[in-house]
Homo-oligomer: A and B are copies of this chain.
Amino acid sequence: MLQEFGELNTKVYHVVSGLLRSYTLDKKGKEHIFMFGPEGWVVGDNVPPEIPCQLYIDAIEDSELYVLPKDLKRENKNAEAFIKRLGVLQKRVIMLMSASAIERYEHFEETYPDIMNRVTQKMIASYLGITPEA
């Protein structure tokens, strides 16, 4: 477990190997996966350091990470990573608003081609915003 809901001044995790996951719990205690973090991805809570974080982050495989401060000024060379991140989130919102569960599944396969067999179907459902049964 790398980060709990509500912590302040949380870190940003650059994944060298392994697999991270960030998620929320809703008021019924149900888990909703926000993002997977396989090799090369960056995982963090997208809120300013002084605001309590909204996500849990844990590793679902043994992982090697670079742990970075959230403070942006220092990583302006990472601007590319931020644009990419915004692009992924934008697409995710569009899919959640306008696509069926099946279409979102197909888009998931494209976004994370390498992790299909590294996560449970329950986790995929959680990422898609549906139940494992569906």
Contact = CB atoms under 8 A, between A and B. Distances in A.
Chain copies in complex: 2
B92 A46 contact: no
Interface stretch (A13-21, A58-66, A76-84, A112-120): A76-84
Contacts of A76: 76, 79
A94 interface: yes
Given A73-B79, A79-B76, A89-B86, A94 B48 contact: no
A47 B30 CA distance: 32
14 contacts: A32-B98, A46-B90, A47-B83, A47-B90, A48-B83, A54-B94, A76-B79, A82-B86, A86-B86, A86-B89, A89-B90, A89-B93, A93-B96, A96-B96
